């Protein structure tokens, strides 16, 4: 049976679907340029006393990425800049976030700052760390104090 475009129930269903789609997937075009909170996805892989932290930073130039280690916290921050659009261009859909980001990954142990290595390739940042060797217990002699 052919579909009748003027069926009121089908029209209502299409409008409701459009409304939910617009709420879920569309943003105002100016929101594309506004500072938005952006948390790039991250993986933390632990193997014994070493770890790999992998972040997806598509479109972020390497020189815009900063990595800091503070005890058990690894902080990755930077900035993704929006592309320059030709005059008269307008966004029909804008879902990509631009601007500053900062992501803190808590490590299960304090890392050795000398062992940290970061590489960046094809929009993927990989940081390799090793656990700071646990301090070995030290026997402290107790002296007797004579009056």
Q: Kindly list the domain boundaries of the chain, sorted by start residue.
A: 34-82+97-130
- Across 34-43, 44-53, 87-96, 136-145, least confident range: 136-145
Inform me whether the pLDDT recorded for 13 exceeds 80.
Answer: no
pTM for the model: 0.65
Pairing relationship of beta strands 117-121 and 99-106 according to DSSP bridges = unpaired
Residue 26: how many other CB atoms lie within 10 Å: 14
Q: What is the mean pLDDT of residues 26-35?
A: 50
Fold entry, domain 34-82+97-130: Immunoglobulin-like (2.60.40)
From residue 101, how far is each of 30, 50, 56, 64, 85 by CA, in Å? 19, 26, 12, 10, 22
CB atoms within 10 A of CB 8: 8
Between residues 99 and 133, which one has the greater pLDDT?
99
CA distance 24 to 37: 17
Among residues 129, 128, 94, the alpha carbon closest in space to that of 112 is found at: 129
| Beta strands across the sheet bearing 73-80 | 65-70, 73-80, 99-106
pLDDT for the residue 15: 73
Helix H, strand E, coil C: the string for 74-105 is EEEEEEECCCCCCCCCCCCCCCCCCEEEEEEE
Most confident of 17-26, 62-71, 128-137: 62-71
Residue 99 vs residue 12, higher pLDDT: 99
């Amino acid at each position: 049976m052919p579909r009748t475009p003027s069926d009121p129930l089908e029209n209502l269903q299409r409008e409701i679907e459009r409304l939910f789609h617009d709420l879920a997937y569309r943003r105002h075009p100016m929101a594309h340029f506004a500072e938005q909170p952006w948390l790039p996805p991250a993986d933390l892989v632990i193997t014994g006393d070493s770890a790999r932290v992998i972040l997806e930073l598509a479109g972020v130039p390497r020189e815009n990425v900063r990595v800091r280690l503070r005890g058990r916290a690894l902080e990755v921050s930077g900035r993704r800049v929006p592309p320059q659009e030709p005059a008269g261009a307008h966004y029909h859909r804008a879902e990509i976030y631009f601007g500053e980001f900062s992501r803190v990954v808590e490590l299960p142990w304090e890392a050795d700052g000398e062992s940290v290595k970061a590489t960046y390739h094809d929009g993927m940042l990989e940081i390799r760390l090793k656990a700071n060797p646990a301090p070995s217990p030290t026997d402290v002699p107790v002296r007797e104090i004579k009056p």
